Amino acid sequence: MSAEQQALQHLNEIFKDIKETLQEVQKNKRDARQLTEQEEAVLKNIVGKIKQVRSNLNDYLKSFRVQTRLDEFN
């Protein structure tokens, strides 16, 4: 799977988690100020996936960089 496809997959998972979390908050509006342990775990999961997306996008963008000098090998 390419870095671009992995990034898209992670973004889709993030949006799904956000949607589910917001639906749960909407159901329980009176306790919306305090997060449960499960909600905190979901938010940590989202942050982790965002970091994976950033990493995959960086890898994808680096694949388009071209060597411009003979002594430049990165």
Q: List Cβ neighbours of 26 (8 Å cut-off, separation of 6 or more).
A: none
pTM of the complete model: 0.53
Predicted local distance difference test score (pLDDT) of residue 32: 54
Confidence check: pLDDT of 31 > 70 = no
Instruction: Please compute the mean of the pLDDT values over residues 27-52 and round it to a whole number.
Output: 77
Residue 39 near residue 3 (C-beta atoms within 8 A): no
Residue 68 clears pLDDT 70, i.e. is over it? no
E runs forming strands in the chain: none
Q: What share of the chain in percent tops pLDDT 70?
A: 78
Average pLDDT estimate for 39-68: 79
10, 20, 29 from 24: Cα distances, Å: 21, 6, 9
